[in-house]
Structure 1
Amino acid sequence: MKWLSLVGWLWPLCTIIRGTLAVNPPRPRADVSACKLVADQGVYLSAGFGYELNCAPSVGTLSAFMIFVDFSDQSASESSPEVLRDFFLPSAADWYDRASYGALELSVAADTSRFYRMPATAVSYNWERGLTAEQHRRYIQDALAAYGRPIPPVDVLYIVPTKNATAITYSPTFMGNVTKRDGTYVAKKSVTFGYDGYRAWGSLVLNHETGHTMCLPDYYPFNGSATGLFIGGWDLMGLIGGPSPDYFAWDKWRLGWLSDDQVDCVAEAGRTSHILSPLEVSGGKKAVVVKHNDTNALVAEVRSSAGLNSASCATGILLYTVSTKIPTGEGPVRVLDATPGSGGCLGDELNDATLTVDGISSRTVTDWHVRVEVVRRVGADYEVIITSA
């Protein structure tokens, strides 16, 4: 009789549940491939999938060779090039190991036997922003000529000047194939370090520039505006010294560091729920991508103060838009500020841009008819509701 009573109590409840599911059935996730915006090959360093520019590998092993140079007018005073190698390594390699969840090994061989004297003075290279590709090529080929030894083909050639070479002011990446003057192939790309690394950025300058060799764009503005104009300090490809420098989940997905099952795709109108875990730790769902059209998407991810982002001054759900039609330096990724006018934190308005459970918990992207709401936090994970029309 007790069993029959229990059945009698459960049956109407089951009927109610069935009726509710019939009215509001759970929405299936869109095929994740629908959110893989295809790169526009006519847009330099397009932020979409499949961009082709003989990019260095982003999974497995990225091989590099490092040489050290000085100049007659700005000669080395370091006791050994080992001092400069140790400035970059192993810190930069460890950074990639952590950022990629172990998917990428940066393997750098370095000739630390001596500094190789460049054939021209440091000042004569006219090393300023706007350096032409031909000027850059000349510098690289001068360094290879000064080195004068065989270099086995590698993915990236690193050219490191003495700290005394203040005339080599910044650290650009040469994006074309690297060859000696006789046409001998050396590498897919070359990073030529400058004084900015020693003065301001530390080993992270290697991670920023090596990001370019993997075909990541710059997220800071090229027009002379504030460095954090588009993204604040939320990604190393924007502000190298930002408080939360880990690569965006969007780029980690593009680089192969996140698998498809770690990304939810919303490509149709409706209401969906998603549980996201912090970007800084391996495992779990890392992003929701809301497809607006074939060239634009909205991304939600969780930022914490763990791992590479230990200096972050704000945590929670970070929202940003991605466009495959906007080139490097013009804002292909733009962070959406949950607290506009707050003044931000650690020197940038966007550094406190996150949605939180206890603060600003929702944001509507009006033009796109998308609303993102933070529902709750369970441990380090967040539940968000995406409503799109």
Structure 2
Amino acid sequence: MERPSLRGVTAAVTSLLALAATSLVAGPAAADTGDAGPCALPRTEAHHSLGVDDWNNAYPRPDHPLDAVMVFLSFPDHRPAVTPAELAADHFPATTQFFRRASYGKFTLRPHPLRQWIRMPRPSDWYGMQRDWDSERRGAYLRDALGVADPKVDFSRFDIVYLVADPDAPGVDSDATKVVNFSRPLRIDGADLRRVVTVFEQHPPDRNVLAHETGHVLDLPDLYHRPSDGKGDWDTYVGDWDVMGSQFGLAPDFFGWHKWKLGWLEREQVICVQRSRVVTLEPIAAVPAPGASLGIRLAVIRTGEGSAVAIEARGATGNDRATCAEGVLLYRVRNETPSGGGPVDVIDTHPHSDACWARSVYAPLADAPLRVGETFSIPGAHARIEVVDRTPSGAWTVRIATGV
């Protein structure tokens, strides 16, 4: 197939100047995920809705290997001090390993880094890079980046696009790293390009930053709380729990609810609690031996048409090996709350204490999990959770009483 000319790509991006918007209203496309059970919240029109009853086909689902191209962009006002290979090594294989552990080996992220720098047409400080980026300058950056990259990249071969800027160029601001969603797909190389990851990280980068941004490409929401003045605490919703809250968290593995949405947990690993029962929960981050069963990883209590309480075990293993506390974690999920608005709230079962001030991103929630012998009544859920025991293999036995 004939590749479009540079001029054609530039014109197409110009016509989509709204592509600089950082949110996308999902279309009706969906894939049936089967009988997810009575505790599966339905997907809504909220940005990155945490409904799990079907899949939004505007996003690549990580139930098979996905290919990602890394394009390295330099600027005429700075000669790069590092090589593309060094920048690629900042993120890979670590990010691939993070997802392989999180998915229990079901998903492989395959990076394809270019070996050379591609020169942007304007100086780095012309683009005005920052977290709340002027839409015209951000649109110009994307237009220029895709324009100079297109002659060297067949975008139709890739599921994910990382645009990596020279970290030492004077205008580069690491706060500008984010996923940019196009208001409608850009047709390039015979394929639809719906979003790109703009990477402005320093060398070395923030921990797990690419795992966080790639989570957005997979339709996962931001779980942090952004203060209106930008000066308060960002981690009051979920603390250290889940990389979509903070890439610096001590227990960054994805919540079991996210793994359910992504297809890494299947129906037999999720228990819908409709009456009192005892369940044994394997730690959500524990990677089973080859051929071994995943066991039960998530218990869910439906609390409303669009809400639920999730119950899972967190232990010092896998992506959570640096966790501050082990135990049974409780959190609320809302399917109509958009990304950044608090779609997940961790329930603090120890509201009068905190832990790991020197390491935690939000110490009040660092000790949120219930420990063996502890009981907690969930406000508004008419349920009481008791952690009965921990098995020799590291699983947690939990008694869930409903209707209380």
- Corresponding position of 1:249: 256
Residue range with higher mean Cα deviation, 307-316 or 121-130: 121-130
CA distance in 2, matches of 1:206, 1:61: 17
Using the aligned pairs only, state the percent identity. 31
- Corresponding position of 1:351: 366
- Corresponding position of 1:315: 326
CA distance in 1, matches of 2:41, 2:137: 35
Distance 1:271 1:166, change over 3 A: farther
Distance 1:128 1:163, change over 3 A: closer
Question: Does the Cα contact within 8 Å between 1:273 and 1:384 map onto a contact in 2?
Answer: yes
- Corresponding position of 1:373: 386
Listed as ranges, the matches of 1:223-234 within 5 Å are: 223=227, 224=230, 225-234=232-241
Instruction: Report the CA distance between 1:228 and its aligned residue.
Output: 1.4
Match of 1:72 among 68, 76, 94: 76
Instruction: Report the CA distance between 1:32 and its aligned residue.
Output: 5.2
Residue range with higher mean Cα deviation, 346-355 or 242-251: 346-355
- Tell me which amino acid in the other structure corresponds to 1:247: F
| Counterpart check, 1:330 vs 2:330 | no
CA distance in 2, matches of 1:165, 1:48: 41
Residue range with higher mean Cα deviation, 50-59 or 368-377: 50-59
Task: Name the SS of the counterpart of 2:338 in structure 1.
Answer: coil
- Corresponding position of 1:214: 218
Deviations 1:222-278 (A, max 9, x none): 233412110001100001011000000000011011111001001x3x311111111
Distance 1:140 1:354, change over 3 A: same
Deviations 1:366-385 (A, max 9, x none): 22211111111112011111
Deviations 1:41-63 (A, max 9, x none): 1x111111235361122110111
Report the count of equivalent residues: 349
Deviations 1:298-329 (A, max 9, x none): 01101001111111010000000000111111
CA distance in 2, matches of 1:228, 1:150: 38
Deviations 1:326-369 (A, max 9, x none): 111111000001111313323321011000015xx121112221
Asked which structure has the greater CA Rg, the reply is 1
| Counterpart check, 1:52 vs 2:56 | yes
- Corresponding position of 1:101: 104
- Corresponding position of 2:200: 194
| Counterpart check, 1:276 vs 2:281 | yes
Listed as ranges, the matches of 1:251-270 within 5 Å are: 251-266=258-273, 268=274, 270=275
CA distance in 2, matches of 1:32, 1:172: 31
Task: Name the SS of the counterpart of 1:322 in structure 2.
Answer: strand
Name the structure with the higher helix share: 1
Instruction: Report the CA distance between 1:129 and its aligned residue.
Output: 2.1
- Corresponding position of 2:306: 295
Task: Name the SS of the counterpart of 2:70 in structure 1.
Answer: strand
Contiguous gaps of at least 5 residues in structure 2: 1-34, 289-293
Question: Does the Cα contact within 8 Å between 1:318 and 1:355 map onto a contact in 2?
Answer: yes
Instruction: Report the CA distance between 1:36 and its aligned residue.
Output: 1.1
CA distance in 2, matches of 1:324, 1:156: 25
Distance 1:165 1:294, change over 3 A: farther
Question: Does the Cα contact within 8 Å between 1:243 and 1:312 map onto a contact in 2?
Answer: yes
Distance 1:198 1:322, change over 3 A: farther
Match of 1:151 among 150, 154, 166: 154
- Corresponding position of 1:61: 65
Instruction: Report the CA distance between 1:293 and its aligned residue.
Output: 1.5
Root-mean-square deviation over aligned CA pairs: 2.0
Instruction: Report the CA distance between 1:98 and its aligned residue.
Output: 0.9
CA distance in 1, matches of 2:64, 2:36: 24
- Tell me which amino acid in the other structure corresponds to 2:376: R
Match of 2:178 among 172, 183, 198: 172
Question: Does the Cα contact within 8 Å between 2:71 and 2:113 map onto a contact in 1?
Answer: yes
CA distance in 2, matches of 1:188, 1:343: 42
- Tell me which amino acid in the other structure corresponds to 2:195: K
CA distance in 1, matches of 2:167, 2:205: 12
Instruction: Report the CA distance between 1:125 and its aligned residue.
Output: 1.5
Instruction: Report the CA distance between 1:163 and its aligned residue.
Output: 2.0
CA distance in 2, matches of 1:166, 1:51: 41
- Corresponding position of 2:119: 117
Instruction: Report the CA distance between 1:166 and its aligned residue.
Output: 5.3
Distance 1:208 1:139, change over 3 A: same
Distance 1:311 1:119, change over 3 A: same
Task: Name the SS of the counterpart of 1:98 in structure 2.
Answer: helix
Deviations 1:1-45 (A, max 9, x none): xxxxxxxxxxxxxxxxxxxxxxxxxxxxxx85111101111x111
Question: Does the Cα contact within 8 Å between 1:156 and 1:188 map onto a contact in 2?
Answer: no
| Counterpart check, 1:383 vs 2:388 | no
Question: Does the Cα contact within 8 Å between 1:133 and 1:174 map onto a contact in 2?
Answer: no
Task: Name the SS of the counterpart of 2:304 in structure 1.
Answer: coil
TM-score by length of 1: 0.84
CA distance in 2, matches of 1:374, 1:121: 58
- Tell me which amino acid in the other structure corresponds to 2:396: Y
